[in-house]
A and B are shown apart, each in its own frame.
Chain A
Amino acid sequence: MIAYILRRVFQSALVLLIVGLVAFSMFRFVGDPVENMLGQERTQEDVDRLRDQLGLNDPFPVQYWTFLSRAAQGEFGISYRQGRDVADIIAERLPATLELAAVSGMLALVFGIGLGVFTAIRKDGWVSSTIMSVSLIGVSLPTFLIGILLIWIFSVELDMLPSFGRGDTVDLGGWTTGFLTESGLKALILPAITLGLYQMTLIMRLVRAEMLEVLRQDYIRFARARGLREKSVNFRHALKNTLVPVITVTGLQLGSIIAFAIITETVFQWPGVGLLFINAIQFVDIPVMAAYLMLISVMFVGINLIVDLLYFAIDPRLRVDGGAGGH
């Protein structure tokens, strides 16, 4: 088990090193930093001096190492477009994205598990089959079309909810939150649904499939024979045993929620890091792109690692044979 954990940690570190290399290469090969910093009237002497000052004459591994150690301290340089420290810009935008992702994740989890259990228990009812068919459409619709559809219905036709921005925010010592004002909460509804819908359908279909599998098992029949109440059988016996794959998938989906937030944030002009990234691509703002890439990789790799380690915590069977193969 220790060996397995060590191997996973090593793999994660390797992935981060490779991503770091990609981010570093972007600085190196996309555009010339000296070109960006010096004006039209420059002499070869200026160029040489600046190259030396910036460490651009150092060998590649040295430069890469400098880049990595600065990145680890959160230093990514100055945004080409906004002329401000990239770390500051990201710190300013991050709360918006994290709040949106957290609410979407909660929505997806609560409704996904709820509807999944419901459709599994009443699998022949018309309500269940309606939910299943609607979910199929939900999976096929591209995220941005769902967002536009919601804007059309709730902002244009019904005029109930705002279609862009974050509403009023409250500053809690560097963390701006939209949870504390009415307009902030209202502005959160449509983006959260847009972002969470796909994950919700995914979790729902997974829970349903797992529940149907578990409900067929003998111990469920036995629990029923013992005269346990239906509620207790479904939730305490059946649902509990479906949770391992659900946690895995949910954990991995957390990463894609943050990535897909790029699309949702653009549709709703939500001022988070996703919108920042899209604007950075449009204007080829390399420092911002590189910083976003590093940030999101740390999140992804971290989430994957935690999900893997959670296996051991949840499923005692894996601990017995050292994780070499639990099944």
Chain B
Amino acid sequence: MADMPAPASTRARMSRFNRAWQSDFAYKFRRSPVAVVSFIVMAVLVLGAVFAPVVAPHNPFDPGSLNLMNGFTAPGTPNAFTGESFWLGTDDQGRDVFSTILYGMRISLFVGFAAVMFAMVLGVTLGLLAGYLGGWTETIIMRAADVQLTFPAILVAMLIFGIAKGITPVEYRDQMAIWVLILAIGLSDWVQFARVVRGATLVEKNKEYVQAARLIGRTKAAIMLRHILPNVLSPVLVIATISLALAIIAEATLSFLGVGAPPTQPSLGTLIRIGQGFLFSGEWWILFFPAVTLLALALSVNMLGDWLRDALNPRLK
């Protein structure tokens, strides 16, 4: 009952927030426990990562604050030598696991977001060009997409990472690793966007509003960007969310394999790689907590993406 539309007189005075809250989209969101829970989990993780310098009890990258005596402290129990206690324990160098996870998540999320943005801009641009211009532009772009689709994205990303690493001078490799990673994951993922946008553009470009725009003499670029683009964006949003989950997992996989974020800037994948080394000696927490965080992050984004797909466009299901 509380969700009934308000009378017109009060409606005019309603704040922006209220209008958003009462929209169809928000209603669907509130009715889906999966979406709400996923959103809360994701929000907590993202906020934790963004405000890591404030939230984290220690700065794991400040050598001055580290005490080697604190190494291998089990979660929740005070250290035998220093008496200090760490919520999720410490690693071999005495770094607080909770803090490294928060900082690691920053890298994971940054790489994930940036890679998806890159893939999105590239894919949407190429998709628009292919769909609107047609001809040999379309042939070249879509053939390239087909060739790339023959190979799994993770393999393409590894290869691009390897080549880019080879081109960068040795002394810059660690500094550049994050950017190379973004480039590699982004380039391995543009095809999805290009295919969907091209398909939607083919439908839109014969509609009357596009003909009208052409008649009044708007340039091709303006028609593509100002007229067609806004009308093909909603599937792009859905793909972007699902791609984000995939990009986070891809980043973690590459870093875990040792071809991603360097130990000086560890992401969740790098932390899991480091933690795997202590599995046999019984320090399970160094591996366990980063792994669970990665899982929670990937699952919540993934489920939110699935829900978004159904909510925005029931036909896509």
Contacts and interface: CB of A to CB of B under 8 A. Distances in A.
Contacts of B280: 155-156, 163
Interface size, B (range): 20 to 34
Given A148-B287, A156-B279, A304-B150, A282 B159 contact: no
A255 B241 CA distance: 27
Interface string B278-289: 011000100100
A280, A281, A297 pick with most chain B CB within 10 angstroms: A281
B49 interface: no
Interface stretch (A24-32, A89-97, A308-316): A24-32
Contacts of A293: 159
Given A266-B257, A281-B158, A29 B150 contact: no
B238 interface: no
Nearest to A151: B279
B291 interface: yes
Contacts of B155: 259, 262, 296
B4 to A, nearest CB: 36
A148 B299 CA distance: 18
Contacts of B259: 278, 281-282
A161 to B, nearest CB: 14
Contacts of A277: 158
Interface residues of A, number: 41
A297 B155 CA distance: 11
Interface string B140-178: 000000010011101100110111011100000000000
Contacts, number: 91
A282 B254 CA distance: 11
B298 A142 contact: yes
Interface string B185-220: 000000000000000000000000000000000000
Contacts of A300: 150-151
Interface in A124-168: 140-145, 148, 151-152, 155-156, 163
A163 B280 CA distance: 10
Secondary structure at the B interface, as helix, strand, loop or mixed, is: helix
B284 to A, nearest CB: 8
A15 interface: yes
A260 B279 contact: no
Given A144-B272, A145-B294, A148-B272, A284 B166 contact: yes
Question: Helix, strand, loop or mixed for chain A's interface?
Answer: helix
A198 to B, nearest CB: 11
Interface string B235-262: 0000000000000010011001111000
Contacts of A31: 166
B279 A148 contact: yes
A95 B299 CA distance: 36
26 contacts: A30-B166, A31-B166, A140-B295, A142-B249, A142-B252, A145-B295, A148-B276, A148-B279, A152-B284, A156-B279, A259-B154, A260-B154, A262-B158, A262-B257, A263-B253, A266-B256, A266-B258, A278-B158, A280-B162, A281-B165, A282-B258, A284-B165, A286-B166, A289-B159, A296-B155, A300-B150
Given A30-B166, A280-B162, 4 more contacts: A142-B294, A143-B253, A284-B162, A293-B159
Q: Ordered nearest first, which 5 A-B pairs have the shortest CB separation?
A: A30-B166, A281-B162, A284-B166, A259-B152, A259-B155
Interface of B: 147, 150-152, 154-155, 158-159, 161-163, 165-167, 249, 252-253, 256-259, 272, 276, 279-280, 284, 287, 291, 294-295, 298-299, 302
